Chains A and B, each alone.
Chain A
């Protein structure tokens, strides 16, 4: 058997318990060849389950060890890793939950996975210094409607079942809250703050629309236009200005530019 053939057979048998291990694996004085090969089969599943557990600690706490382990086993069996870096292995878990029963039947649980993934992504997203609201002083008043914004690389806007973020906070803070809603939604913005911690804030509907527009490349005028569908023009401009200042204060904005 060539080295390439041996590695293919070895890997196939680790990934698929039904596949035979390579014939050339030898027994030791204390273990059969199958017992020895089983060390690698077991280690593979234990290691990937540990990656998932580390990446989704709150999901694990909410599901409980038994249910989380069942989820991890299903994900591991369905998802061999193409990644060199273990950091990325668990990124597909929320999508797997949304696509597969029984997890797809409980939206809040899948949403909790999406939320934890966004926090992890924000934590080690690419660096970019947040700019201060004083940057606006460099923009002439007549140019302000054409202002566009670039946000921090780790920023994510999530539409989740209402109460998911509170449930996450309750688990990490060890207190109790009502379970997430099965019918209502809320929008959450996740980013990395100036202290380099992943942070989040639940947005009111108007701010969620404005931030979504801005993060898609919308100008300040387009944000005002969007809000004016929900209120009069003066109120829309005032709201947009308040939101903008809040985004600067939160450290969401990496740069601004006029068209």
Chain B
């Protein structure tokens, strides 16, 4: 029997797949506005547009007129033990009212306590205490926003002796308890698997497909002793292999490539997107985007 949702929605009501998207970054505004590239959708960094006005919001409005958009934040600090920031959430909700995103996401992490922000996606111990705390906060955020949100697994560089379960168990259980969606970051699984010596394929297979609404793929930096989630390199072969596995497991899930530094020509990102599309198609679980379904 399906568990009742705090939002009064059936747990299986996933949004329709959007297809293959890219992160919207200012450096690419001219390419997008002049050439209307064959990208199914864009993901924005919410905080970049939580400003009073001006060109960022104007550009966003213009691009939103032609493309579906999802909102992805870095500052919700959902795992923090500090109180939820109502001002932040109010501003996020106002942006969502303007953008009408397909969904809103943020990270399974904390960014600060005691009124401060470290501007980083900080790790948590995978304890029952943290599980109850995070799930409760996600529920409260969903109630405030009036919609389900998607939570992303992060790359991490430390582990804690306090942990009582592995990361994938924690992620899956958070999603179940909070009745939220998951943004499954394949690169983050790979980076953390390398840093903490776990099997990334086992991670993928422990996640229930009905929770996953989006996949991130990205590049990272290999520093020999560890890997860092930098988003400044092309997607590597191991991450493509994991993505293929994720496609088999999760089916046709909206997929996007994150690039946040060392920006290549826009055509290179389109080529990576083509590769993602081909891998998804070869998995036998190719998605039908909302646009295609309506065509």
Residues in A lying within 8 Å of B, measured CB to CB? 1-4, 6-8, 10-11, 14-15, 22-26, 28-31, 33, 35-37, 39-40, 43-44, 47-48, 51, 80-87, 89, 122-127, 153-154, 192, 196-197
Contacts of B112 in A (CB 8 A): 11, 81
Chain A CB within 8 A of B50 CB: yes
For chain B, give the interface size range: 35 or more
**Could you tell me if A28 and B195 are in contact, using CB atoms closer than 8 angstroms?**
yes
Chain A CB within 8 A of B75 CB: yes
B54, B75, B117, B224: the one contacting A123 at CB < 8 Å is B54
CB within 8 Å for A31 and B225 given contacts A124-B54, A196-B55: yes
**Could you tell me if B160 and A26 are in contact, using CB atoms closer than 8 angstroms?**
yes
Among all A-B residue pairs, the 8 with the closest Cβ atoms: A127-B53, A124-B54, A126-B52, A4-B81, A24-B161, A84-B75, A124-B51, A30-B225
**Could you tell me if B54 and A35 are in contact, using CB atoms closer than 8 angstroms?**
no
**Could you tell me if A47 and B119 are in contact, using CB atoms closer than 8 angstroms?**
yes
A35, A80, A84, A125: the one contacting B225 at CB < 8 Å is A35
A47, A51, A125, A197: the one contacting B52 at CB < 8 Å is A125
Contacts of B116 in A (CB 8 A): 11, 15, 80-82
Chain A CB within 8 A of B37 CB: no
**Could you tell me if A7 and B160 are in contact, using CB atoms closer than 8 angstroms?**
no
> Can you pick out 23 interface pairs between chain A and chain B where the beta carbons lie within 8 Å of each other?
A2-B129, A3-B125, A7-B80, A7-B110, A11-B114, A23-B161, A24-B160, A24-B162, A26-B158, A26-B160, A28-B195, A30-B226, A36-B226, A40-B122, A44-B118, A81-B112, A82-B116, A85-B50, A86-B119, A89-B119, A127-B53, A153-B53, A192-B54
Chain A CB within 8 A of B264 CB: no
Chain A CB within 8 A of B133 CB: yes
Chain A CB within 8 A of B10 CB: no
**Could you tell me if A25 and B159 are in contact, using CB atoms closer than 8 angstroms?**
yes
Contacts of A154 in B (CB 8 A): 54
**Could you tell me if B226 and A28 are in contact, using CB atoms closer than 8 angstroms?**
yes
**Could you tell me if A28 and B110 are in contact, using CB atoms closer than 8 angstroms?**
no
Chain A CB within 8 A of B97 CB: no
A7, A81, A153: the one contacting B113 at CB < 8 Å is A7
Please name the residue on chain A nearest to B115 by beta carbon: A82
Please name the residue on chain A nearest to B80 by beta carbon: A7
Please name the residue on chain A nearest to B157 by beta carbon: A39
A26, A83, A87, A125: the one contacting B159 at CB < 8 Å is A26
Contacts of A89 in B (CB 8 A): 119
Query: Which of B54, B110, B160 is the most central at the interface, judged by chain A CB atoms within 10 Å of its CB?
Result: B54
Chain A CB within 8 A of B124 CB: yes
